């Protein structure tokens, strides 16, 4: 068992308190200036950012059409099991896209290594960066990272202007308190570790798709 008493804790805190008897100098600000230009047309900005960060954004008129949209997407995905967040909405959706594929629901555990795709909802969409904010309640931690394709089913009502608004929303709604995990996802996984050349699809999904309903 690792040591349960932590004598260093008091020593470190004591040193910190002694050190902080004198405040350090700081740079003074000239005047309060806006750091980011305000985000006005949320949907337009979200779509533009998705193009930049390489998120596929599939627009549909309403949530009822989501089933068809997902079925079309799955048609291009190799055969094999998919993992779906177990929510009433997605249960209903699954009935609509029936393609004979094996589905593992999140209530049965996390996605398997061989999953071809995962489907989940999200907490918030962020226009500023074209991002998707998920929590552990969106099918678990693995749902948005294990499989090569991650499909997010969302509506424009979930759009907020910027990261600040997104964090405020998940705090206000108690999602931060209730979850052990949140992730702000911007595009599909990538790396530039080889000669600083951008390569898509490192360890996370190669494709991130947002099926976005207008209502």
Partner 1 sequence: MSTAAQEFLRRSIEKSADLTHKQIIRRGIDQYNTANDRGRMRFADWEAARQRCHEIKWEALNNLDRYLLEFEQRAKERGAHVFWAENSAEACRYITELATSRGVHKVVKSKSMVAEEIHLTPALEKAGVQVVETDLGEYIVQLRDEPPYHIVTPAMHLTRKDIADLFKEKLGDVDTDDPVELVAVARRALRRDFFSGEMGISGANFLVADSGMIALTTNEGNGRLCTSLPRIHVALAGIEKVIPKLQDLALLWPVLATAGTGQPITCYSTLIGGPRKPNEVDGPEEFHIVLLDNGRSELLADVEQRDVLHCIRCGACLNACPVFRTVGGHSYGTTYPGPIGSVLTPHLRGLNEFQHLSYASSLCGACTDSCPVKIDLHHHLLENRRNAVNGAERPWSERIGFKIWQWTMQSASRFRILGGLARAALRVAHRLGLDGTPLDPMGPWSKNHAAPRVPKKSFRALWGKNNAAN
Site for partner 1 in 106-145 (CB under 8 A): 106-107, 109-110, 113, 129, 131, 136-137, 139-145
Interface residues for partner 1 in 23-42 (CB under 8 A)? 23-27, 29, 33-37
Q: Toward partner 1, which CB reaches closer, 73 or 123?
A: 123
Per DSSP, 25 falls in state P
**Shortest Cβ 108–partner 1 spacing (Å):** 9
Mask for 68-107, x = binds partner 1 (CB under 8 A): --------------------------------------xx
Each residue of 159-186: b (16+ CB within 10 Å) or e?
A: bbbbbebbbebbeeeebeeebeebbbbb
Measured from the CB atom, the residue of 155 and 186 that comes closer to partner 1 is 186
Are the C-beta atoms of residues 52 and 130 closer than 8 Å to each other? yes
Considering the complex, state which of residue 67 and residue 111 has its C-beta at the smaller distance from partner 1.
111
From 3-11, 62-70, 71-79, 90-98, span contacting partner 1 (CB under 8 A): 3-11
CB closer to partner 1, 6 vs 215: 6
Instruction: Output 159 or 162, the one with its CB closest to partner 1.
Output: 162
Gap between the Cα atoms of 168 and 185, Å rounded:
17
**What is the x/- site pattern for partner 1, positions 140-179, by CB under 8 A?**
xxxxxxx---------------xxx--xx--x----x-xx
Distance, CA of 82 to CA of 69 (rounded, Å): 16
From the CB of 69, what's the least distance to partner 1, in Å?
24
Nearer to partner 1, 98 or 195 (CB): 195
Nearest Cα to Cα of residue 126 among 17, 1, 210: 210
Residue 112 DSSP code: P
Counting Cβ atoms within 10 Å, is residue 195 exposed (0-12), middle (13-18) or buried (19+)? exposed
Cα–Cα distance for residue pair 125/55, rounded to 1 Å: 12
């Amino acid at each position: 068992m690792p040591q349960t008493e932590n004598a260093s804790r008091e020593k470190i805190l004591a040193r910190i308190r002694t050190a902080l008897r004198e405040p350090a100098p700081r740079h003074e600000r000239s005047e309060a200036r806006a750091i980011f230009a305000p985000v006005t047309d949320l949907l337009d900005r979200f779509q533009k950012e998705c193009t930049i960060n390489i998120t596929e954004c599939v627009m549909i008129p309403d949530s009822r059409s989501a089933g068809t949209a997902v079925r079309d997407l799955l048609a291009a995905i190799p055969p094999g099991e998919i993992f779906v967040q177990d929510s009433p909405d997605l249960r209903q959706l699954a009935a609509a896209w029936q393609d004979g594929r094996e589905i593992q629901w999140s209530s049965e555990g996390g996605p398997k290594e061989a999953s071809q795709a995962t489907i989940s909802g999200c907490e918030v969409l962020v226009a500023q960066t074209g991002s998707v904010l998920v929590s552990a309640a969106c099918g678990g931690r693995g749902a948005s990272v294990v499989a090569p394709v991650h499909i997010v089913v969302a509506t424009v009502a979930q759009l907020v202007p910027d990261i600040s608004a997104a964090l405020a929303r998940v705090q206000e709604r108690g999602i931060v308190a209730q979850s052990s995990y949140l992730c702000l996802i911007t595009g599909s996984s990538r790396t530039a570790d080889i000669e600083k050349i951008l390569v898509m699809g490192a360890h996370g999904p190669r494709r991130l798709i947002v099926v976005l309903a207008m209502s």
